[in-house]
Amino acid sequence: MARSPVQLINAQSFMMDENSGSPAAAPQAAAPTALPTADLLQLRRAKVDQWRARGNDPFGTAFPATQLAANVIAGYEEDQSVRVAGRLVAIREMGKSVFAHILDQSGRIQLYAQKNVLGDEGFAQWKLLDLGDWVGAEGNLFTTKTGEKSVRVSALTLLSKTLRPIPSEWYGLSDPEARYRQRYLDLIANPEVRDTLSKRSQIVREVRRFMEDHGFMEVETPMMQSVAGGAAARPFTTHHNALGLDLYLRIAPELYLKRLLVGGFTKVFEVNRNFRNEGISRKHNPEFTMLEAYWAYADFDQMASLVESLITTVAERVFDTLAVGGRDADPATNTPARESIDLTPPWPRERYRDAVCRTAGADWFALTPEGRRARCAELGIELSPAMEDFEVTNQVFEKLVEARQVKPLFITHLPKELVPLAKQNAEDPSVVDVFELIINGQEISPGYTELNDPIVQRERLVAQAGEETQLIDEDFLTALEYGMPPAGGIGIGIDRLVMLLTGAESIRDVILFPLMRPAVRETSAAGQ
RNA sequence: GCCUCGAUAGCUCAAUGGUAGAGCAGUUGACUCUUAAUCAAUUGGUUGUAGGUUCGAGUCCUACUCGGGGCACCA
């Protein structure tokens, strides 16, 4: 809070510099004023004044009863009267007529303005438009000689003047830094980005719908927690002033959702953000969206079937196909083609142990720990000396099984060391009743038969807390002592699911505003 | 945190160590069926920042900033 007034002053003097024009600014102090864009900004501001001088508000208000471009085109009737609005993305002047395209959420539509229809004054307004301006238009539909359904404009309203030039529609905006920092420009310039991110919205909607259709109730549990539990990850810290209380942003909702099972809800789910204080990569963003669901009286096997049904249902509803993530090669952007992934069920289920033997040799578990390390060397798997034996095996799993698995595969019965919160298998206590769903080399979803024994749970949490400096959620353990029904649980990383279904290469392409370091601002004038 | 690649006009990109360029956008003009409109003219740059080498640096060297990819941390 203490910072903002200073920033405001900076912002103001910054703007005044742009306003004051070069002659006045030149003799001023040392400040390396003139931004490269100054001329462009200056011209646009002058146009704002010209609109005002003509009695038009260049930042207008409501433009009611607008229709979406796509709907207008789909419901085309010759000479029908329509009202459309959007951002001007192309202008082609032809002397006494003008063709233009506006872009709205649904797509583009062409406008046609003629001097003999609009009159001198109305037509002259078109000279004061720039690419990027928001405009509303009313007129009648017609089809051009080249067959494009268009609006013959009878009246144009400027809805908002753009002071800055927008990126070229043809060349797009390809600088990744600009794309992620200024996503609004990315959305204007790159239609595939609009498509991917609106697909994300549809996917989340269909996930919710599926869960509700299957009797699950959506709940919202705390994101600020005094003990960050439910996963092994470093949390972010924050602080509540009035309570004088340090809090963590949650790393998982799990422990609260299980409290709800104790409380008697039988099918609950939550779709929301988790926060993990980790490195950023193509597959990791510090805040990410997770679906977690718990189902009383179910086990991991039923949860696997639920996940299979969920993902195939969502894929079919949103994409109308089970062959997902494919892409044609695009020589323009040098993007190679990508095979789509076939999600047709049923998806195979394989025990962790069998998958390791399949790839590292049937004798893997008969080897000594040293023998396993030697085998890893043969297989080209790098190990750190500190790794314990089960971690060595898990390296094999990650590099040879997970990384290479393209089609959906459920890996079941993981060693208990890997999954401390899950329930041990009744016949083989060295493994737990869990699955891990792998698609396209990534873990998409883990599922569990949840541990509901409060005594064992306490032992595990104590052991886990020993390593990390993590506290133990005593209230959660108390809740378990009141009795949690046997239950199955799942988590699905929504960002990664969207990547899978849309064929996105980076998690940043499916998150509207991925975390970035703050940009370094040019502090041209200001009090430094 | 480590390795590696990158940053040139508003956007997309050029430029054997020797005068920083093009297309689009912008500006001015012509054009009433264009759609990457066309035609003519034209503005626009402290080459990410700070040092260094050199007669001379966009180009070579060092550090830093931001970003991409990889590794590590982490499901």
Average pLDDT, integer, range A324-342: 72
Looking up tokens 């405009």 gives A135
Give me the helices (H) in A27-114, please. 38-53, 69-74
Q: CB of residue A357 closer than 7 A to nucleic acid strand B?
A: no
pLDDT in tens, A12-34: 233 333 333 332 232 222 222 33
pLDDT at A22: 31
Task: Report d(CA A35, CA A512) in Å as an integer.
Answer: 28
Q: Quick check: A201 pLDDT over 90?
A: yes
Q: Residues A123, A94: contact at Cβ < 8 Å?
A: no
What confidence tier does A5 reach under pLDDT thresholds 50, 70, 90? very low
**Residue A526 CA to B10 C1' — how many Å?**
24
Q: CB of residue A300 closer than 7 A to nucleic acid strand B?
A: no
Q: CB of residue A519 closer than 7 A to nucleic acid strand B?
A: yes
**Residue A26 CA to B31 C1' — how many Å?**
41
Nearest to residue A446, comparing CAs of A354, A323, A352? A352
CA dihedral for A238, A244, A245, A246, sign (positive or negative): positive
Q: CB of residue A493 closer than 7 A to nucleic acid strand B?
A: yes
**Residue A179 CA to B13 C1' — how many Å?**
17
- Residue A320's identity, in one-letter code, is D
pLDDT at A99: 95
pLDDT at A132: 92
pLDDT in tens, A269-306: 999 999 999 889 999 999 999 999 999 999 999 999 99
- Residue A445's identity, in one-letter code, is S
Nearest to residue A432, comparing CAs of A388, A509, A489? A489
Q: Quick check: A473 pLDDT over 70?
A: yes
Q: Quick check: A264 pLDDT over 90?
A: yes
Nearest protein residue to B6's C1' (by CA)?
A: A175
Task: Report d(CA A506, CA A285) in Å as an integer.
Answer: 10
What confidence tier does A9 reach under pLDDT thresholds 50, 70, 90? very low
Task: Report d(CA A209, CA A218) in Å as an integer.
Answer: 10
Q: Residues A344, A322: contact at Cβ < 8 Å?
A: yes
In the CATH scheme, what is the code of domain A201-221+250-346+407-509? Answer: 3.30.930.10
pLDDT in tens, A121-141: 999 999 999 999 999 999 999
pLDDT in tens, A420-441: 678 889 999 889 999 999 999 8
- Name the fold adopted by A35-166: OB fold (Dihydrolipoamide Acetyltransferase, E2P) (2.40.50)
Nucleotide nearest to A282 (CA to C1'): B69
Phi and psi angles of residue A446, each rounded to the nearest 5 degrees, phi first: -100, 155
Helix (H) or strand (E) holding A496: helix A494-502
Could you say which nucleotides of strand B lie within 7 A of any protein CB atom?
Answer: 1, 6, 9-13, 23-27, 30-38, 43-46, 65-75
What confidence tier does A467 reach under pLDDT thresholds 50, 70, 90? low
Who among residues 401-460 of A has its Cβ near strand B, under 7 Å?
A: 402, 418, 436, 443, 446
Task: Report d(CA A112, CA A123) in Å as an integer.
Answer: 11
pLDDT at A528: 26
How does the average pLDDT of chain A come out, rounded? 85
**Residue A207 CA to B49 C1' — how many Å?**
47
Q: CB of residue A309 closer than 7 A to nucleic acid strand B?
A: no
pLDDT at A505: 87
A358 vs A156, A350, A354, CA distance in Å? 68, 10, 6
Nucleotide nearest to A180 (CA to C1'): B67
Lowest mean pLDDT among A15-29, A404-418, A505-519: A15-29
pLDDT at A33: 34
Q: Residues A9, A528: contact at Cβ < 8 Å?
A: no
Directed axis angle between helix A300-319 and helix A191-213, to 10°?
140
Q: Quick check: A461 pLDDT over 80?
A: yes
**Domain residue limits, chain A:** 1-27, 35-166, 201-221+250-346+407-509, 348-401
What confidence tier does A520 reach under pLDDT thresholds 50, 70, 90? low
Lowest mean pLDDT among A20-34, A84-98, A112-126, A314-328: A20-34
**Residue A376 CA to B32 C1' — how many Å?**
75
DSSP state of A251: S
Nearest to residue A151, comparing CAs of A230, A68, A208, A223? A68
Q: Quick check: A527 pLDDT over 60?
A: no
Q: Residues A113, A100: contact at Cβ < 8 Å?
A: yes
pLDDT at A176: 87
Average pLDDT, integer, range A176-196: 89
Lowest mean pLDDT among A99-103, A414-418, A448-452: A414-418
Q: What is the 3-state secondary structure (H, E, C) of A224-238?
A: EECCCCCCCCCCCEE
